[in-house]
Amino acid sequence: MPESDEQLIDRWRERGETSALAELAERYLSQFYGTARAMMLSDSQAEDVAQETMLKVVRWIDSFDTRATFRTWSYTILVNTIRSDLRRQKTRSQHFDAAADVTRVAATNQSHETLLTQQETRNEIEHALTHLTDKQRTALVLMVTEGLSAADVAEIENCSVDAVYQRVSEARKSLRNAPALRQLWQDHR
């Protein structure tokens, strides 16, 4: 049975085992990337933010209070890092990371038509997400994409559970008319 996040942190704190930090990074870096990608809508920015978040987590791990879960604590750092990055940019224009997508296309055996359809769907979803407020997008991404509970999202966002449910509800209402999302929701029923 793999060690819990908290056990890994204890190994780091008590014995200075860098392998414990490496294990945490291995567990969370791709999750951080996925969340950042969904919130920032840019592959390159998401990669930068995920790495920056992991560096902050490692730098501040000694301040982690074990009364909280590591996942909630680290996602709080992630969301704050994303918001700081978005504020620095002062623009919400979508940038298509062509290099990453070309690499993904080359690595797949899917037909050109299938790839184009997937890219069109992705673009429609990204466009729809740009119309959400930061708080709506954060709540939606953390609950739906990352599978966090409303209580965890409330802790990360420093708000009530009811506020989280309200944000997700408002986000879904806003997205209801997006054709690509409507199809996705029908497929998941």
Is residue 167 scored above 70 in pLDDT?
Answer: yes
pLDDT confidence of residue 40:
83
Give the single-character DSSP code of 109.
-
Is residue 19 scored above 90 in pLDDT?
Answer: yes
Q: How many separate helices (H) and strands (E) can be counted in the chain?
A: 10, 0
Is residue 174 scored above 70 in pLDDT?
Answer: yes
Do 36 and 3 touch, CB atoms closer than 8 A? no
pLDDT confidence of residue 103:
45
Quick one: tokens of 72?
């909630």
pLDDT confidence of residue 96:
41
* Between 13 and 122, the higher pLDDT residue: 13
pLDDT confidence of residue 189:
44
The single-letter code of the amino acid at 117 is T
pLDDT confidence of residue 104:
47
* Between 34 and 128, the higher pLDDT residue: 34
Q: The dihedral of CA 149, 155, 158, 160: what is its sign? A: positive
Model pLDDT for residues 102-151, shown as the tens digit of each residue: 444 444 445 555 655 666 666 676 777 778 888 998 998 888 878 899 99
pLDDT confidence band for 95 (50 / 70 / 90): very low
pLDDT confidence of residue 110:
52
pLDDT confidence band for 180 (50 / 70 / 90): low
Alpha carbons 52 and 32: distance in angstroms, whole number: 10
* Between 155 and 101, the higher pLDDT residue: 155
pLDDT confidence band for 177 (50 / 70 / 90): confident
pLDDT confidence of residue 121:
62
Alpha carbons 91 and 94: distance in angstroms, whole number: 9
Model pLDDT for residues 58-81, shown as the tens digit of each residue: 999 989 988 889 999 999 999 999
Name the percent of the chain lying above pLDDT 90. Answer: 45
Do 168 and 140 touch, CB atoms closer than 8 A? yes
